[in-house]
A and B are shown apart, each in its own frame.
Chain A
Amino acid sequence: MFTKPFNVSVSRVAGLTAAAVLLAALVGCGSNVKLDDVPVSDRTGAAVTGPADGTAGSQGTSGKVTPVVVDERGIAEPPASVARVIYFDYDSYIVRPEFAATLEAHARFLKADGARKVILQGHTDERGGREYNLALGQKRAEAVRRSLAVMGVSEAQQEAVSFGKEKPAVQGADEAAHTKNRRVELSYR
């Protein structure tokens, strides 16, 4: 099930953070944590071996250990209960600040398990051409991908794709429908 060791391209600090989250989860309140049935012990072990491979220096954090204190909130919001849709303003391709916490929760999950992959599916409202909307949806998916990358999620774990206006969440030509359709959906594989 867990065939790939912890991805060493993920930042060292991120790896340790993830390990800390998972250790805390294991000790603290494992009952609420649903991480798609991946054994927690596997991940913890992989993360611990990470710093020994000598790549930490490239991250500029060599030898430094940043202790992370995991609060209850972080544990209580694993991806299964975290929103999987990020909404966008009209003609906008910027992730609104209100979605930062949501993306951080996804980032924690992904960093904890380097084998998990997320597909970021960009969508637009129905106005305009199909191909141009596909490119606009891609811009939204790419904005989320960059946000997750900044949060330490590796390139290999993410794929930004677009559905353009082909798969609206809500049918309708009014602004209420448009608002729900301008979105990026995070889909795990």
Chain B
Amino acid sequence: MSLSRRALVGATVLLPLSAAHAQFRVEVSGVGLTQIPFAIGPLKGSDAAPVDLAGIVKADLERSGQFRQVVPVVGVLLDETSRPDLAPWRERSADVLLTGSVTRLADGRFDVRFRLWDVVRLKDLGGMSLPVRPGDLRLAAHRMADYIYEKLTGEKGIFSTRIAYVTKNSGKYSLWVADADGEGGQVALNSPEPIISPAWAPVGGQLAYVSFESRKPVIYSHEIATGRRRLMANFKGSNSAPAWSPDGRTLLATLTLDGSSQIYSIDVSTGSHSRLTQSGFIDTEPVWDASGQSVYFVSDRGGAPQIYKMGARGGNAERVTFAGSYNTSPAISPDGKWLAFVSRINGAFKLQVMEFASGTVTSVTDTTADESPSFAPNGKLIMYATKLQGREALMTTTLDGRIKTRLSAAQGDIREPDWGPFVA
């Protein structure tokens, strides 16, 4: 137990682990999860860097649920050029060791260099040199974490991706773009009126969202580098729930042109719209599967909100969720194998994860006001909003709910996360 705690510094919610997990180098079961013990040697020269690179790498890897840090060996000097004596790291049961250095360049940039060692097989796992501006040092740390993650798991890391979220502070609303760990946030939009449902365009760099700035919900698309905004849907009634198609050419949205909330398809280049659902009931919260062939959405056509699936051009819908009387906010994993959604269970709103193949549904949180799940682009983590001690908070969880972390809280309430795509 003590090891688990040490390995999970920063985790605010932790499901109780069984006694077996207290052992060293234990394999945590569930969703094929293996925790790889890693060590970060002292990064030479990192004291001169304005950010704690090793701390960011450690937090990134541990948030994934697939890594845990072992206590570093002290009193050794290592950098990416060293051929380290791996024996003491082996004694600490580390599987991998990260070594490196940070050097301030004449032009003000920092050269972040690192090398990864396989402590068990005594093998050099390669490294990188990342010359970055001081403002991109956090990104360099995330890139290191991505490198380690990919080398050890064979899957792409998501630590250098970005997220969007909304804060409410003293009645003012802000749309933020931040690193995947919630840090380094920059405001993309300030508004006196609510902002909800940010949705990253598949290529990144662009967000669609619902803004109430004109005293009604309308959909904008927003280029975050330039701040250039385009009104995507401002029809009579409400305009909400934007969802980009995987090719970025179509935006689905919920419009109320005939009175009821129905799903429409908007051609991004021409702005022309066509209706996809014809229920006359509530149809909303459309999301595409990664192939672009199917659209999942929420409808109360059966008397209570449930998740349905239809073709990308509409047509017959098949019901996907059956348990309970309130299932909303679907999110589909990038590999199409998992559905995350929010279910009302005994009056509490709980994040659920369904495996399509087996139909098994798992409740993955201990909180009661979960909202807005969004998958990491590698499908290994889910970010969601909830309430902790009465305050709105953003969390990440592994798909089995075992490892959760709370993203650093900005001022005020924080909500509506959307996890951006891989950065090219």
Nearest B-chain residue to A158, judged by Cβ: B236
Stretch of B29-37, B88-96, B210-218 at the chain-chain interface:
B210-218
A130 within 8 A of B: yes
> Nearest-CB distance from A131 to chain B (Å)?
5
Q: A131-B328, A135-B254, A136-B282 are in contact. Are A161 and B237 (CB under 8 A)?
A: yes
Q: Which of B197, B210, B240, B344 contacts A128 (CB 8 A)?
A: B344
Q: Establish whether residues A128 and B326, one from each chain, have CB atoms under 8 Å apart when the complex forms.
A: yes
Q: Establish whether residues B326 and A131, one from each chain, have CB atoms under 8 Å apart when the complex forms.
A: no
Q: Establish whether residues A142 and B371, one from each chain, have CB atoms under 8 Å apart when the complex forms.
A: no
A77 within 8 A of B: no
A162 within 8 A of B: yes
Contacts of A135 in B (CB 8 A): 240, 254, 261, 282, 284
> Nearest-CB distance from A136 to chain B (Å)?
7
B164 within 8 A of A: no
> Nearest-CB distance from B371 to chain A (Å)?
6
Q: Once the chains are docked, how many angstroms separate the CA of A131 from the CA of B298?
A: 10
A64 within 8 A of B: no
Q: Once the chains are docked, how many angstroms separate the CA of A136 from the CA of B240?
A: 13
The B325-383 residues at the A interface (CB cut-off 8 A) are 326, 328-329, 342, 344, 349, 371-372
Q: Establish whether residues A131 and B237, one from each chain, have CB atoms under 8 Å apart when the complex forms.
A: no
Most B-side CB within 10 Å, residue of A132, A145, A164:
A132
B79 within 8 A of A: no
Q: Establish whether residues B328 and A129, one from each chain, have CB atoms under 8 Å apart when the complex forms.
A: yes
Q: Establish whether residues A161 and B194, one from each chain, have CB atoms under 8 Å apart when the complex forms.
A: no
Q: Which of B212, B237, B238, B371 contacts A129 (CB 8 A)?
A: B371
Q: Establish whether residues B259 and A160, one from each chain, have CB atoms under 8 Å apart when the complex forms.
A: yes
Most B-side CB within 10 Å, residue of A119, A127, A130, A166:
A130
Most B-side CB within 10 Å, residue of A129, A136, A187:
A129
Q: Establish whether residues A132 and B236, one from each chain, have CB atoms under 8 Å apart when the complex forms.
A: no
Most B-side CB within 10 Å, residue of A119, A160, A161, A167:
A161
Q: Which of B238, B285, B415 contacts A162 (CB 8 A)?
A: B238
Q: Which of B216, B284, B326, B371 contacts A161 (CB 8 A)?
A: B216
